[in-house]
Structure 1
Amino acid sequence: MASRCSPPWPGTSRRRTRHSRLVCFRKWQRNKYVGVSLVGKTLAILGFGKVGSEVARRAKGLGMHVIAHDPYASADRARAIGVELVSMEEAMTTADFISLHMPLTPATNKMLNDEAFAKMKYGVRIINVARGGVIDEDALVRALDSGIVAQAALDVFTKEPPAPDNKLVLHENVTVTPHLGASTVEAQEGVAIEIAEAVIGALKGELAASAVNAPMVPAEVLSELAPFVVLAEKLGHLAVQLVAGGGGIKSVKVTYASARAPDDLDTRLLRAMITKGLIEPISSVFVNLVNADFTAKQRGVRITEERIILDGSPETPIDYIQVQIANVKSKFPSAISETGEITVEGRVKDGVPHLTKVGAFQVDVSLEGSLILCRQVDQPGMIGSVGSVLGEENINVSFMSVGRIAPRKHAVMAIGVDEEPSKVTLRKIGEIPAIEEFVFLKL
């Protein structure tokens, strides 16, 4: 029985299924169906997620050289397994075996077509245990007839069950199974547990990679983006609190800086979380991944996105996220950038979201608690003065950062606090002579 983690390469390369049929009919034809060895052959895995990774481990144990293509795959994880991440072009042109493990999306629909097969090595072998639609079945028949594809092993089809006269099912060089990938006792138990965990997580308000009416994000991508998801929501929550009156937001610009190519960075999930952070504090609406875009449109909030391509390693999906709210007044004027928008910017550091810019001022403060922002004359003793006020009121400071334009000019002090200061405490901070403006932001 085939499984998703151990597709039938040995059966495919040695024509085991056809041998079995022939023996059943009392035909002993050892020389007619000669196979190939897996040792030393190159396997290209298209879709290097959880299943693709497990396939790679097993293929390495069979003595194969394994390469993979997946725009969302972590280079560190690939190196740990001993797999080389390559372009789609290189994967198709160098592989002896190609194993498919990606979801069926508009981008992957009929990904293996006549053009793709024409680039492959003569005699390549194809294994599809993903979704039938990722292969153009008519094109595969032509590739088999021409010899470009020596053999194919298919567990899935575009239409299931396939028609009795399906050319692939009847083809001499095709091994087929009736979508048996998850047909083991262990797999069925695993699916049941996964469903239960997904339901529990959804009820807790956690992100779910399996939601069918939310942005479709593979589990491995969701895991990689998780800290940036938190950062996105907190930046939206922080930005809206800087708006005077807490409303009137019409135009929001979100900028993502990344070393990855634009097509390799899906920002729908991040946009939804920024929308959640912007809208929930000023309304009674509960915003989630499903209704975020609709809710923003309904409230007249136009959210635009921009991507800045950076030089460097693409191992980290995002370098920073910037949120700008245009045409509004701010309760903390220093948050207004030179271009006139309320501007906040953040990064993920060691898995923790940090605020790194307010207006034109560079800061560096963790966003794990609440925040006090102070704009003051840059002079000695300011940190001590504010810290003393907070200490007298038993307010614990978790982090403090000061960003300034130039020495002895103006500075913004960002203070992370574990408790919410009272109005009296905030008034005392505002009464410190050198402090010109301040705001408390509850995160």
Structure 2
Amino acid sequence: PCTESPLFALPNVVVTPHTGGSSAEALAAVGEVISTSTLAALRGEAVPNAVNLPASSLQARQLQALTSIAAAAGRLLAVLAPERAARFGVTVDGLVQSDIVEHVVGAALSEALGRWTDRRVTPVNARLVAEESEIAVRVSQDDPNPECVPAFSFEITLRDEDEPAHHVVVRWDRREAGIVEVDGFRLNSPLAGDVLITHHRDQPGMIGQIGTILGRYDVNIAGMQVGRRERARGAAIMVLNVDDEIPAAALAEITVISGIETAYVVSLPHPAPVDPVLAMTAP
């Protein structure tokens, strides 16, 4: 070991052997990291310190809260476009560390690929599976403004098309994440739970017809959001949260309503709140 050094004479320097880091507090912190990471892995959740993924600057629960919603965005894109996409793009707004971006991309891409292919896809091999499936993956940083609330815009482009077919926006305030926009329609509250989504023409009677069909099949509506791009009679979207499973027969009736373009049913996770103490450690 080193026995002489100018550092030894400095009054503001404390020198210890390597075991100096083995204090009761340090060992307790190591044990918490190991147990939290192990439990997350067993649940199939994101692990911030896995050896085959980028080391994350977020703790396990924070990372899981974000990646579970990113995975839901990928799942929603695959439901909106059951056909395998040609391009999968992610645009990041706000200042987000590159390791976090990689975890988000992996979570969303693996969930979409799990529906587009018959492969076993995880965030670890998602990019490789995308390449082998001839899906181009593009990730870009739009505005790295540290004052901006981070958002991730996911979009897919189908084969033989130039413009994106669908896109989903996830907003992350570094404590909670949620899907706040679908195909250009902004939602009043984050998308979560068992959901019916329709793209339709804005016209009288649309809400009533859908509600009547769901009522006939004993499906209870828990909440509803409606958005449109134009003042009236133009393209619109409806998002219904339901308490009961929507039968295929009910969905079939909804899709043939005059003015309905498409209708989808998808189950999405609710945003998982993060412990405020943990959130304070977020970058």
**TM interval, short-chain normalised:** 0.7 to 0.9
Aligned residue in 2 for 1:367: 191
Instruction: Name structure 2 gaps, 5 residues minimum.
Output: 269-283
Write the deviation string for residues 40-88 of structure 1: whole angstroms up to 9, x where unpaired.
xxxxxxxxxxxxxxxxxxxxxxxxxxxxxxxxxxxxxxxxxxxxxxxxx
Alpha-carbon shift at residue 276 of structure 1 (Å)? 1.6
Aligned residue in 2 for 1:82: none
What amino acid is the match of 1:325?
Answer: I
What amino acid is the match of 1:268?
Answer: E
Pairing 1:96-175 to 2, within 5 Å after superposition: 163-164=1-2, 167=5, 171-173=8-10, 175=14
- Greater relative contact order (Cα < 8 A, sep 6+): 2
* 2:205 is aligned with 1:344: no
Alpha-carbon shift at residue 239 of structure 1 (Å)? 0.8
Asked if 2 retains the 8 angstrom alpha-carbon contact of 1:365 and 1:416, the reply is no
Aligned residue in 1 for 2:56: 217
Asked if 1 retains the 8 angstrom alpha-carbon contact of 2:90 and 2:140, the reply is yes
Aligned residue in 1 for 2:277: none
What amino acid is the match of 1:184?
Answer: S
Pairing 1:10-409 to 2, within 5 Å after superposition: 163-164=1-2, 167=5, 171-173=8-10, 175-185=14-24, 187-220=26-59, 223-244=61-82, 246-247=83-84, 249-258=85-94, 260=95, 266-309=100-143, 313-314=147-148, 316=149, 318=150, 320-328=151-159, 339-348=163-172, 351=176, 353-358=178-183, 360-364=184-188, 366-406=190-230, 407-409=232-234
How much is the aligned-residue C-alpha RMSD, in angstroms?
A: 3.2
Alpha-carbon shift at residue 272 of structure 1 (Å)? 0.9
Alpha-carbon shift at residue 267 of structure 1 (Å)? 0.8
TM-score, with length taken from structure 1: 0.52
Write the deviation string for residues 232-268 of structure 1: whole angstroms up to 9, x where unpaired.
1111111122224x32x2311111222x3x6678411
TM-score, with length taken from structure 2: 0.77
Structure 1 residues 183 and 235: CA distance shift in structure 2, 3 A: same
Write the deviation string for residues 83-104 of structure 1: whole angstroms up to 9, x where unpaired.
xxxxxxxxxxxxxxxxxxxxxx
Aligned residue in 2 for 1:10: none
Structure 1 residues 250 and 427: CA distance shift in structure 2, 3 A: closer
Task: Give the match's secondary structure for 1:214.
Answer: coil
Structure 1 residues 441 and 311: CA distance shift in structure 2, 3 A: same
Instruction: Name structure 1 gaps, 5 residues minimum.
Output: 1-162, 330-335
Structure 1 residues 425 and 209: CA distance shift in structure 2, 3 A: same
Alpha-carbon shift at residue 322 of structure 1 (Å)? 1.5
**How far apart, CA to CA, are the structure 2 residues paired with 1:366 and 1:189?**
37
How many aligned residue pairs are there? Answer: 264
Aligned residue in 2 for 1:65: none
**How far apart, CA to CA, are the structure 1 residues paired with 2:68 and 2:242?**
18
**How far apart, CA to CA, are the structure 2 residues paired with 1:310 and 1:186?**
36
